[in-house]
Structure formats: structure tokens, C-alpha cells
Amino acid sequence: MRIDVLAQLDHPVAEPFAGGRERHTYVLVQELRRLGHRVRLFAAAGSDPALEPVCLGPATGSPERGSRRTREAAAELQFRMQRRALHIIADDPGDIIHNNTAHELPLMLAHRLPVPMLTTLHAPPAEPLHTAVLERQQRDLPFSTLSPSLMVSWRPALDHVPVIASGLPLDRFRACLRQPDAAPHAIWRGRIAPGQGLMMALQACLIAGIPLMVAGPIEDMDFWRNRVRPRLNNGSRHLGILPPGSLPVALAAAGVAICTDPAADPHGYSAIEALACGTPVAGFAQGTLPMLLDASSGRLAAPGGVAALSRCIQAALGLRRDDCRMRAEQFCTATQMARGYLDAYGQAIAHHRLPPRDGTTLRTPA
């Protein structure tokens, strides 16, 4: 199958990834190719050359940052780059387009393209994508999303959206299948800033009586100095930003990984990586976690319940590490994700209707 993938243009598709969407695109393209399919990736300049991307122009950066003039210029640039990608596809179509962006233009022009387009929804509804989805739904365009909670968030705009769980190549995460020799500790990963759930993780670990290793960048220095650092005692400490080679070691050394902010990780990558290292997960029953975890690999508390989270941490410490790794292998691999999308591509192709022959088919201007 020949597949055209549209990437988000805020950031390059390259390590270190700016976010989960970029990582999702990277893994998907590599795995589809490994399975024997031809993939053409449309992405921002600076994307990994190994992906052989069609670079449409410079990465525009996060749209919410910068002055109004800067944001307007970035929006105009994104519009032109997305339109260029769609013109290239219209002139040389494959079998299907996978729209992995949050931009409205691919949906607005999908009905003028000669091949079907599957759009993956990575986040809850937000404008202008929400309006574009409402309009395109009337044309029976196919969508997918990452978790049941995201699927629910798109109702009633979309009555039913297939869920295709994110996955990762697990070979870089070698499992530690025995309990660490030292006294157990927990690990929490994320941005050190208000609203990420770090304070709840620290409080829960204090109640549970185990130290917490905190990994991630300090984005709010006042929050770090006044709220976090004073609570790093009894063995708890900040590990800094873990490079890729150190991450599996840190995860495998922990007795439990704590996930407290599903909004920051809608793909569930933090939980998947922990399970791949044989480390059980404790967190809140929201986002992707209820889908990723089972009774053998994690424990979940009602959202916001610190005391309940502490009990989940204690219970997770008793789970078998080989069961956690098995859960990752059975449910969280890149191959399973890619095959899920291949099934969705097949259905989209089978139900696709060609655009009318009335001059509205998209073509590159002369």
C-alpha cells in the first residue's frame, strides 16, 4: 500500500520529540515501512532524514506562543505548507492519506482529493479543527482517535470514532524482571510546572512512605523553588532531563511509575515505556491509562484522590514485573498500532467515493 502521511508542522518529526504527536508520526512511518508499505511523509524542515520526508518549509513553532503578528505569520505559513502538500498528493496520489495534523485545511479539502483521508484526533475538540470536523462529518470522512476518553470528548460531533491505541518499538526498553535490590522508590516524569500533577505524586509518595525520583525539565522556577524542592526529602530527588539512553535504566530501577497528568500524555507513552521495562504503573483512572493497564500491570485511583493514589502505589509495588512487560508486548507495540491503522485504511478505501468530475478536484496551479 502507498500511504501519504501529513505531519503537524509546528515542530520537526525528529528526536528529541517536541511532543507525542511528533513521536506518533515518527513511529508510525517507520513501522509501516518495516511492514513493507511505501510511505511518503510531509513534514517540517529538520525532520529526521532517515524518514525521507518531503520538507514543506520551516517549523512554525507552537501556535500559542509569540506576539499576535508572529502567530498570524505562523498560521499563514502553515496554511501555505499544508496546501502545497495536498496539491502534491493530488498530482501524484497514493492509496490513502493519513492526516496526523490538527490543522483544518486537510479536512476542508479532503473531498477534492482522489484518494480517501483518515484523520487521527490526538486531542479533545478545539477550534478551528472542531468546526472542520463538524462540516466534514457530513461527507462521511473517516476518523480515529487514541483512547475511549478522547472518543467520548468528540461527541456529539462524531457519534463513533474507532480507537487505535498508540504503540512503541519495545526493543530499546530492556525489561528488568527482578525487583531492584535497594529499597523501592517511585518515578514521575513530566514538565515541572503547575498543573502537571507532580504535587499530588509527591504527597501520595509521602503517605505511601517511599521516595520519588522526579525526571523532567524545570519550566517554572518559582514553582520549583517554592513548592517542589522543599518536598524533595527522605530520598526523593530531581534526576533532571533523562537522555534516551538513561531513561530505560531509570525506569527499570523504579518499583513503580506514577502517571498523574493524562492531558500531557494522551498517547500513554510514559506508561508504555514503564511497562516495557517491567515497571508497574500507578495513576488516575482517566485518559489512556484505563485502556493501557490491566490488573496485572497497574493500579488506578479516582482522579484527584491523593490518599487513594498512595494506596495504588503500595499495591502496584507488589505486581509481578514480568506481567508488566507481557502487558506491553501484548497491547502496546508499534506493530499492533500500525496494523490497526492498516485495517482502518482498508475500510476507508473500500468506502471511498471519488470527487465529482466538475472541475472541483484539487490540482496544482499552473
Q: In what side-by-side order are the strands of the sheet with 186-189?
A: 237-240, 212-215, 186-189, 256-259, 281-284, 298-301
The larger pLDDT score, comparing residue 234 to residue 87, is at 87
Side-chain half-sphere exposure of 81, counting CA atoms within 13 A? 24
Would you say residue 218 has pLDDT above 60? yes
> What count of other Cβ atoms lies within 10 Å of the Cβ of residue 129?
17
Q: What percent of the chain has pLDDT over 90?
A: 80
In eight-state DSSP terms, residue 263 is G
Q: Identify the weakest region by mean pLDDT among 8-12, 172-176, 207-211, 213-217.
A: 172-176
| CA nearest to 244, candidates 179, 167, 348, 173 | 173
User: What pLDDT sits at residue 229?
Assistant: 95
Tell me the mean pLDDT in the region 112-117.
95
Write out pLDDT tens, residues 51-106: 999 999 999 986 556 677 777 888 899 999 999 999 999 999 999 999 999 999 99
Write out pLDDT tens, residues 23-63: 999 999 999 999 999 999 999 999 999 999 999 999 998 65
Strands (E) in the chain, as ranges, are 2-6, 38-43, 54-55, 96-99, 117-121, 143-145, 186-189, 212-215, 237-240, 256-259, 281-284, 298-301
Tell me the mean pLDDT in the region 345-353.
92
As a CATH number, domain 170-330 is 3.40.50.2000
Peptide bond just before 262 cis, omega within 30 deg: no
**DSSP 3-state assignment of 200?**
helix
User: What pLDDT sits at residue 357?
Assistant: 61
Write out pLDDT tens, residues 283-339: 999 999 999 999 999 999 999 999 999 999 999 999 999 999 999 999 999 999 999
Q: What is the mean pLDDT of the chain?
A: 92
User: What pLDDT sits at residue 366?
Assistant: 34
Written as one letter, the residue type at 250 is: A
Would you say residue 147 has pLDDT above 90? yes
CATH class of 2-168+334-350: alpha beta
Would you list the domain boundaries of the chain?
A: 2-168+334-350, 170-330
User: What pLDDT sits at residue 359?
Assistant: 52
Q: What is the pTM of this model?
A: 0.91
Would you say residue 222 has pLDDT above 90? yes
Peptide bond just before 156 cis, omega within 30 deg: yes
The larger pLDDT score, comparing residue 261 to residue 126, is at 126
Would you say residue 240 has pLDDT above 50? yes
